[in-house]
Structure 1
Amino acid sequence: MSEKKHKYPWNHIIGFVLSIALTFLAAWTALSSDLPVMWIIISIMVLAVIQALIQLFMFMHIVEKGAGDAPWNMMFHAAVVAAIVVSGSLFTMSFGFTHDHGGGEHETEQHEEQGAHEGH
């Protein structure tokens, strides 16, 4: 039996500090920088990818041996589900679907006439 020595979790500390620093950098970029909007969006996306990689390698142990291809397989399927959700959300928001169901002007005229009769 070999006992594992309890070492201080430096990887977790470094990952946490880097994640906090990247979060503050993204917040500063969005709120206080004089960059054009497109560069703000690009820089926040780059910082998000870097932070995701830090999370994967320092906290989620993606490089540990013994798990086989399971982490990469799960990441692939999670990315597919995320892409479906994001694309569906963007599609719905982009084409202006509402809850009106096509009542149009005729429906608003009826509501105006009803309101006029209720006052008498």
Structure 2
Amino acid sequence: MERHGLASYLIGFVLAVILTAIPFWLVYTHALPPSRIMWIIAGAAVLQILVHLHFFLHINFTTTPKENLLAISFTAVLIFLMVGGSLWIMIDLHQRMAL
């Protein structure tokens, strides 16, 4: 199997579909408490990012040039700050509205 062959894309596609279907199914069926579902959604999102980086963008953390890894790391920090800051603000506003 060559590195960028059709099999690699199909494996990535199947993994991405599974990692999308699991959270949708959990939310649709209410199979778990909402707090657990949120953690599973977050975990599936992180795994899906890794699947996309590996199977579709062909980024391998052992052979990728240092500049690309620095760019990815900087992007991850920015996303973490934006998402974390947004959640912090929304949770704080929710608590203030509940008073």
Please state which structure has a larger fraction of its residues in helix.
2
Identity of aligned residues (%): 30
The structure showing larger relative contact order (alpha-carbon pairs under 8 Å, at least 6 residues apart) is: 2
CA displacement at 1:76 relative to structure 2? 0.9
Distance 1:64 1:80, change over 3 A: closer
Structure 1 residues 31, 22: CA separation in 2 closer, same or farther (over 3 Å shift)? Answer: same
Moved more, 12-21 or 66-75: 66-75
TM-score by length of 1: 0.63
Q: Scaled by the length of structure 2, what TM-score is found?
A: 0.75
Identify the match of residue 88 of structure 1 among 80, 85, 89: 85
Moved >3 Å (runs of 4+):
64-67
Does residue 18 in structure 1 map to residue 15 in structure 2? yes
Note the aligned Cα RMSD (angstroms). Answer: 2.4
Q: Which has the larger Rg?
A: 1
Q: Equivalents in 2 of 1:64, 1:37: separation in Å? A: 34
- CA gap of 1:68–1:33, structure 2 versus 1, over 3 A, is same
Per-residue deviation, 1:22: 1.4
Pick one of 48, 52, 56 that aligns with 1:55: 52
Query: For the structure 1 residues 37 and 20, does the alpha-carbon distance in structure 2 shift closer, same or farther, using more than 3 Å as the test?
Result: same
In the alignment, structure 1 segments of 5+ residues that lack a partner are 97-120
Q: Distance in 2 between matches of 1:53 and 1:8?
A: 18
Distance 1:88-1:68 versus aligned 2 partners, 3 A rule: same
Choose which of 38, 41, 45 in structure 2 pairs with 1:44: 41
